Structure 1
Amino acid sequence: MEKVVILGTGPAGLTAAIYLARANMNPVVIEGDQPGGQLTLTTEVENFPGFADGILGPELMDSMRKQAERFGATFKRGWVTGVDLTNPPFSLEVSGIGKVETEALIISTGAAAKLLNIPGEKENIGTGVSTCATCDGFFFRGKKVIIVGGGDSAMEEANFLTKFAKEVVIVHRRNDLRASKIMQERTRENSKISWMLNRTPLEVLSAEGVVTGLKVVNNETGNEEIIETNGIFVAIGHTPNTGFLQNAISTDAQGYILVEPGTTKTNIPGVFACGDVQDRMYRQAITAAGTGCMAALDAEKYLEGEFVLDWGQTLS
């Protein structure tokens, strides 16, 4: 029987582990097949406070992990295949480990950016292909970049990138956009943004580790075209990593875990959610770390009996 188990080792999960370990809660952290989360796919992180000269994403996550271990957090490698959250103690089926029972559970399994799944894409993530304009836009100052997508997120990221890039090209597979009218209007009014609609990406082109272009097919003519670029930002949405929960907890239509506003409390007393798995808006390392701290403090109060009577209405 564990006192508290944390699922996930991104900024949220590791921050929760640090706080709980320092509170002598002996947290057990279960890490999946990508320890460190999305930051392990990022080369340099320049917007995390405390690192004036920036820090490599994998280095930042390794430092967080060592800090949690220093205070007594235990790490186990496995993949959660089933859960029983009916009543505490909660039961988890973990591949490679077996059954794990815990009094409290923190879910910080993150969200995965949807990719195009075309040749050259994964190979160039972090070296010209990105899924986060806020994170990586600065590195493309004075350069030409491409945004792939047609929703509000794509429009927001395109406008944001014009602060740095000299030209932003929006590529979308249809002529019609899913973005709201106001976002479309705002984007079309931006003189730095051009459009290549009704084109489907086929391949990310690169030379000597540097992205050089995007091969697309013109859906009207059937002809293949090459759009020269220094960087490609994929903005076609995210998928929260909640499939393993099998509807055992309240989520929104996209699968993001619902929490009581201002807390990390889910609809199940003793189960908390932090980081990108419950944040569909910000998705930054620093905000994930902040909610990880909140989850640790919420879990500590729960284990001490402070949350049982004031849990509030069930979220739905």
Structure 2
Amino acid sequence: MRKVIILGTGPAGLTAAIYLARANMQPLVIEGNQPGGQLTITTEVENFPGFPDGIMGPELMENMRKQAERFGAEFMRGWVTDVDLSKRPFTVSVEEQGDMQAESLVISTGASAKLLGIPGETENMGRGVSACATCDGFFFRGKKVIVVGGGDSAMEEANFLTRFASEVQLVHRRNELRASKIMQDRAQKNEKIHWSLNVAPLEVVAENNRVTGLKVTNNETGKEEIIPTDGIFVAIGHKPNTEFLKGQLDTDELGYIKVKPGTTETNIPGVFACGDVQDHIYRQAVTAAGSGCMAALECERFLEGQGAMDWSKSLS
């Protein structure tokens, strides 16, 4: 039996773990198949406060984990297959670990970028392939980049990248874009954005561990070509990692967990959501960490208000 279980170890989950451990709540943190979240597949992080010279993503996550462990947070590697939120204590089922119970839950399972699934894509993440223009656009100052996608996210990423890149090539597999008219118009008026429509990406081309091009095929003629580029930004959306909840929490039409405005509280008392699993707007490490702090403080107040028993005494 636990006072609180935290699901996920990105910036949100680890920040929540730090705060809850310091409050002597003895949190158990369950790591998924990608401990540390999306920052573990990035290279240098330059926009997280406190690191004037930047810091490598995996190093930042490892430092957060050590900080949480220092205050007494416990970590368990495992994949959550099911949860029962119908009654307290809540039950969490972890693959190969069994069931465990907690008086409260902090859900910080994040969101995964949808990828193209083509050769060379995952291998070159952080080496020229990215799913976040806001995170990595700065590294492509004066260079040529490609944005793959046809929705609002792709238009927004392409426009943002023109602040840094000398040229942005927008690649979409259809003749028509899915983006709203206002977003299309904004992109089409941008002189730095060039268009490659009705072409399908086939392979990320790289040399010496750096992206050099994107192989595509023309859907009408079947002709293949390699578009030279310094970077490829995949902008086909994100998918929140909420399948294991099986509809027990209120979510929006995209699957992101709904929280009460200005809080991390879900529709079930004692269950809190923070980070990208409930934020499809900002998706930044610093905002995720901030919401993790909020979740921890709200969880602590919830447990104190419920008069949660002193587990350390009960188990002694």
Is 1:266 the counterpart of 2:272? The answer is no
Match of 1:174 in 2: 174
Question: Which whole-Å CA distance do the structure 2 matches of 1:239 and 1:19 have between them?
Answer: 27
Match of 1:300 in 2: 300
Count of residues in correspondence between the two structures: 307
1:77/1:96 contact within 8 Å kept:
no
Question: Which whole-Å CA distance do the structure 1 matches of 2:99 and 2:170 have between them?
Answer: 48
Question: Secondary structure at 2:305's aligned position in 1?
Answer: coil
The 1:306/1:102 distance shift into structure 2, 3 A limit, reads: closer
Give the letter for the 2:80 counterpart. V
TM-score, normalised by the number of residues in structure 2: 0.96
Q: 5 Å matches for 1:57-96?
A: 57-96=57-96
Per-residue CA deviations over 1:262-308 (Å, capped at 9, x if unaligned) read: 0000000000000000001110000000000000011011101179x
Question: Secondary structure at 1:33's aligned position in 2?
Answer: coil
Q: Give the superposition deviation at 1:226.
A: 1.1
Question: Which whole-Å CA distance do the structure 2 matches of 1:47 and 1:163 have between them?
Answer: 16
Match of 2:12 in 1: 12
Match of 1:125 in 2: 125
Amino-acid identity (%): 74
Question: Which whole-Å CA distance do the structure 2 matches of 1:209 and 1:176 have between them?
Answer: 34
Match of 1:157 in 2: 157
Question: Which whole-Å CA distance do the structure 2 matches of 1:183 and 1:95 have between them?
Answer: 43
Question: Which whole-Å CA distance do the structure 1 matches of 2:32 and 2:132 have between them?
Answer: 22
Match of 2:248 in 1: 248
Question: Secondary structure at 2:58's aligned position in 1?
Answer: helix
The 1:306/1:186 distance shift into structure 2, 3 A limit, reads: farther
Question: Secondary structure at 2:260's aligned position in 1?
Answer: coil
Match of 1:314 in 2: none
Per-residue CA deviations over 1:229-250 (Å, capped at 9, x if unaligned) read: 0000000000000001111111
Give the letter for the 1:107 counterpart. I
Question: Which whole-Å CA distance do the structure 2 matches of 1:36 and 1:96 have between them?
Answer: 21
Is 1:187 the counterpart of 2:210? The answer is no
Per-residue CA deviations over 1:121-180 (Å, capped at 9, x if unaligned) read: 011000000000000001000000000001111111101100100000000000111111
Give the letter for the 2:17 counterpart. A
Question: Which whole-Å CA distance do the structure 2 matches of 1:82 and 1:12 have between them?
Answer: 21
Question: Secondary structure at 2:203's aligned position in 1?
Answer: strand
Is 1:279 the counterpart of 2:279? The answer is yes
Match of 1:98 in 2: 98
Question: Which whole-Å CA distance do the structure 2 matches of 1:34 and 1:183 have between them?
Answer: 33
Question: Which whole-Å CA distance do the structure 1 matches of 2:282 and 2:199 have between them?
Answer: 29
Question: Which whole-Å CA distance do the structure 2 matches of 1:235 and 1:33 have between them?
Answer: 23
Match of 2:311 in 1: none
Question: Which whole-Å CA distance do the structure 1 matches of 2:182 and 2:67 have between them?
Answer: 45
Match of 1:310 in 2: none
Give the letter for the 1:74 counterpart. E
Per-residue CA deviations over 1:7-27 (Å, capped at 9, x if unaligned) read: 000000000000001111111
Give the unaligned 5+ runs of structure 2.
308-316
Q: Give the superposition deviation at 1:252.
A: 1.1
Match of 2:310 in 1: none
Match of 1:24 in 2: 24
1:45/1:57 contact within 8 Å kept:
yes
Question: Which whole-Å CA distance do the structure 2 matches of 1:79 and 1:276 have between them?
Answer: 18
Question: Which whole-Å CA distance do the structure 2 matches of 1:87 and 1:149 have between them?
Answer: 42
Question: Which whole-Å CA distance do the structure 2 matches of 1:115 and 1:81 have between them?
Answer: 23
1:241/1:277 contact within 8 Å kept:
yes
Question: Which whole-Å CA distance do the structure 2 matches of 1:155 and 1:84 have between them?
Answer: 40
Match of 2:220 in 1: 220
Give the letter for the 1:25 counterpart. M
Question: Which whole-Å CA distance do the structure 2 matches of 1:115 and 1:259 have between them?
Answer: 27
Question: Secondary structure at 1:305's aligned position in 2?
Answer: helix
1:78/1:94 contact within 8 Å kept:
yes
Give the letter for the 1:242 counterpart. T
Q: Kindly report structure 1 stretches of 4+ aligned residues shifted beyond 6 Å.
A: none
Match of 1:197 in 2: 197
Give the unaligned 5+ runs of structure 1.
308-316
Question: Which whole-Å CA distance do the structure 2 matches of 1:146 and 1:128 have between them?
Answer: 10
Match of 1:136 in 2: 136
Q: Give the superposition deviation at 1:253.
A: 1.5
Question: Which whole-Å CA distance do the structure 2 matches of 1:156 and 1:171 have between them?
Answer: 14
Q: Give the superposition deviation at 1:222.
A: 1.1
Match of 1:312 in 2: none
RMSD: 0.9
